[in-house]
Amino acid sequence: MKQRQWLALCLAFVLCLGVGGCNKKNEPYKETQFLLDTIIEITAYGADAQAAVKAAMEEFRKIQPLTDHFDPASQISKINQNAGIAPVRVDPEVIGMIRHAQELSEKMDGAFDISVGALTRLWNVGHNGEYVPEAAEIEALLPLVDYRLIQIDLVQQTVYLPKKGMYLDLGGVAKGAALNNAVNALKAKGITSALVNAGGDVRVIGRKPDGKAWRIGVQDPRNSEGVMAKLTLDQWDTLETSGDYQRFFIKDGVRYHHIIDPKTGRQPREIASVTLVYQDSAEVSDLASSGILVLGVEKGLQVLQRFPGVEAIIMTTDGRLITTPALAGAVGQ
């Protein structure tokens, strides 16, 4: 499935469950843009909703020129271009995202790693047709993947990759940072009811105008028109999903998707979809559901215990639906 088709379907599921049913007195202001290589949809209610949504959307635009590794002029691209050559001075926000990514990597035993870029470029799923690299090509790049090698100088505000060929891909954290900034922008404008959907990663503010909690559909990873779970965000304000159905191709009966295990250079095979649900806070913010997918069910659930208050819905590739205990009564089919 093409990426934009999947994103459009994902938006349809979220919006039909989260926005529908409101009366005409509470018509939302909605805006959609394609930024950070995904579809961003912001829906807000209130007298200043239009101005608030535009301010929130601007936060995504600000992040893009900093972190877009496809843009040779971005700050992340400058870091990559200077790997093994020299440190690169960057904005404090870029430093913050990289440090946050390193902390996540440590907590997830390296299953999430922004230095995996050399491998994601090699596979280039979603951009390079049905290309399957040779084992030797993968093995040659594995020494370039290690978040612990990334050098940050807080005084000089520089980032340095010590090995030529190292490549950062901030896709796993840039969207979350922009999402947080967008929500803060909405709140600064006095918005008390809103939904921000960044390619399937969702943040809500308050409740819908009718007083009901936002209800979000989680896509069935093997049915593009189906919902495998419906979740009411009454205790949580954040939902993020990673899956093997978002960007993929099938060749000779094998599914190759865009999530790469940093330690093997290949796609993990046990989990089809992971959805994390939590209340965003200083202690728990901008997690990496892809890391849980890489770890697999048993290890993933163990690692999840390091993040208090975070719950999960996991669909395995053989069709098992697994939830953490707190979601047992919250997930509706």
Low-confidence ranges of the chain (pLDDT < 70): 1-26, 282, 330, 332-333
Residue 5 is predicted with a pLDDT of 45
Q: Cα–Cα distance between 294 and 239 in angstroms, integer? A: 18
User: Which tens digit of pLDDT belongs to each residue from 209-245?
Assistant: 999 999 999 999 999 889 998 999 999 999 999 999 9
144, amino acid identity: L
Measured CA to CA in angstroms, residue 324 lies from 12, 41, 242, 330 at distances of 26, 28, 17, 10
State the maximum Cα–Cα separation within the chain, in Å, rounded to a whole number.
62
**Hey, what are 169's tokens?**
């891909």
Q: How many CB atoms lie within 10 A of CB 3?
A: 18
Residue 37 is predicted with a pLDDT of 86
Contact (Cβ atoms closer than 8 angstroms) between residue 271 and residue 322: no
Q: Cα–Cα distance between 233 and 252 in angstroms, integer? A: 40
User: Which tens digit of pLDDT belongs to each residue from 52-103?
Assistant: 999 999 999 999 999 999 999 999 999 999 999 999 999 999 999 999 999 9
Residue 282 is predicted with a pLDDT of 67
| Beta-strand relationship, 214-220 and 223-233 | antiparallel
Q: Which residue segments constitute the domains of the chain, with CATH numbers given?
A: 3-64+192-332 (3.10.520.10), 70-169 (1.10.3980.10)
Q: Cα–Cα distance between 106 and 92 in angstroms, integer? A: 21
| Beta-strand relationship, 194-198 and 38-44 | antiparallel
Angle at CA of residue 254, ends 251 and 9, nearest 5°? 85
pTM above 0.85, yes or no: yes
